[in-house]
Amino acid sequence: MSYVQAVEAPERNIGQIKLYDSAEAFAGMRAAGKIAAGCLDMLVAEVREGVTTGRIDDLSRQYLFDHGALPACVFYRGYRHTVCTSINHVVCHGIPGERVLRGGDVLNIDVTCVFDGWHGDTSRMYAVGEAPRKAQRLMDITYEALMRGIAAVKPGATVGDIGHAIQSYAEAERTSVVREFCGHGLGRVFHDAPNILHFGKPGQLEELKPGMMFTIEPMLNLGSPAVKVLNDGWTAVTKDKSLSAQYEHSVGVTADSCEIFTKSPAGLDQPHALAG
Ligand code: MF3
Ligand code: CO
Ligand code: CO
């Protein structure tokens, strides 16, 4: 894998890792990340029994428009919605629609916006009313796994170090790591090099360098890690129908560690942990 100065690269995935080491790029990602995170903050009060996932999508789209941003997922590979709403055993890419939220459901809401050409991509878990204890535990572990992955990010570390931090913790807690979906480079391009695997060995894969920007978005299951995609071409579910959870942040590698672009401005980074 090779690296390229982002300002010299075309704005598409060319298989090289873009380095965005300018204050302007970090400011752009901070602004985009803040809008995406603000959208998830807004949804904390909207996720409740009786609400449809389509309504959550409408509110999200309006929030992005109101903040001068666009939904990056609309028309992305034929997707037509602003957010993905992945409920219970849905791993990711759940399609918003008529489904009504019920007490005891847990769901991931994943939003990606584009603001001034920069992408903000983040997701969190929400509980509808009170979540079952095992769901609560899975969501706690998934958030902690994400934060351990982020803690591994610094120049000189590798993509394998991130995956190892996540996998070793998740498996020690008797959960499993989904292999089919990964984090990704992010910046002017939505899904860019490199892939950020949520499993791996220390010291393996690409070295992290200042100016790299990417997401970390582990999906953890209570049962087997196996997933399948439904006939709609999007909805990924656990094969064994066990519960799945995911959290996602967008980050940028700094001189000595990393900056999280999608931290909650309102301190609502873990909606699932709020009293139902
Ligand atoms: N936001 C998702 C991610 O984390 C991508 C969703 S693609 C879509 O990469 F088309 F399903 F929206
Ligand atoms: Co996302
Ligand atoms: Co992502």
Query: What is the residue extent of each domain of the chain?
Result: 3-274
The pLDDT score that the predictor gives to residue 276 is: 60
Ligand 1 atom at minimum distance from 73 CA: 12
For ligand 3, the distance from its centroid to the CA atom of residue 183, given in whole angstroms, is 6
Each of the 276 residues of the chain gets a pLDDT tens digit; together they read 899 999 999 999 999 999 999 999 999 999 999 999 999 999 999 999 999 999 999 999 999 999 999 999 999 999 999 999 999 999 999 999 999 999 999 999 999 999 999 999 999 999 999 999 999 999 999 999 999 999 999 999 999 999 999 999 999 999 999 999 999 999 999 999 999 999 999 999 999 999 999 999 999 999 999 999 999 999 999 999 999 999 999 999 999 999 999 999 999 999 999 976
Longest dimension (CA), the chain: 50
For ligand 1, the distance from its centroid to the CA atom of residue 215, given in whole angstroms, is 11
Ligand 1 atom at minimum distance from 181 CA: 9
| Count of Cβ atoms closer than 10 Å to residue 223 Cβ | 15
Which residues have any ligand 1 atom within 6 Å of their CB? 73, 76-77, 79, 84, 93, 110, 112, 121, 215, 217, 248
The pLDDT score that the predictor gives to residue 100 is: 98
Nearest ligand to the CA of 73 is 1
3-274 falls under which CATH superfamily?
Answer: Creatinase/methionine aminopeptidase superfamily (3.90.230.10)
